[in-house]
Amino acid sequence: MGLFSSIVDKIFGHAKAATPATPAAPAAPAKPAPIFIDGSAQTADVAPPAPPSPTPAAAEPVDVAAVLTELAAQKGGKSDWQHSIVDLLKLLDLDSSLDARKELATELGVQAGAHGSAEQNIALHKAVMKKLAENGGKVPDELKD
């Protein structure tokens, strides 16, 4: 599993954990066996037909900025995840080392500047945000451009 997959898992997993689950509908009780004209009864309980399954709604996009802002607040609020790939990775408790960023750059096809340079780090941050948006994340335009 690549580093980008870990980023997605952390952000989307946090969003799912924060969303309350829909309570399950209680099961309908079984109906008693019918009595036939000759006085005999059917031996097995007859269960009512199952209600139709609700049509699955389109999955709501994950608000990436909201998730990351919430995580930053939980950790003390001192993170520049909006601009820094290092801060973003640290916020998600992922490896932010140069080697990890090199791996991420290779994974996302980022070839801007020398490894570890400000130019590459900025391009890497933008590439991560664009890729999150492509994978179901709601990302503000200013973080992708």
Tens of pLDDT, residue by residue over 9-34, are: 999 987 666 655 444 455 555 556 56
Where in the sequence is the domain holding 80, given as residue range(s)? Answer: 3-17+58-144
Separation CA 138–CA 120 (nearest Å): 23
Quote the crossing angle between the two packed helices 3-18 and 64-74, to the nearest 10°. 80
Domain-located, residue 116: yes
Domain-located, residue 39: no
Domain-located, residue 74: yes
Separation CA 79–CA 92 (nearest Å): 11
Q: Which amino acid is located at 93 in the chain?
A: D
How many helical (H) and strand (E) elements, i.e. helices and strands, does the chain have? 6, 2
The pTM for the full model equals: 0.69
Domain-located, residue 40: no
Domain-located, residue 52: no
- Between 139 and 54, residue with greater pLDDT: 139
Percent of the chain at pLDDT exceeding 90: 54
Separation CA 4–CA 12 (nearest Å): 12
Q: Which two tokens stand for residue 91?
A: 């916020």
Domain-located, residue 24: no
Listed in order, strand segments (DSSP E) in the chain are: 62-63, 137-138
Q: Indicate the DSSP class of residue 13.
A: H
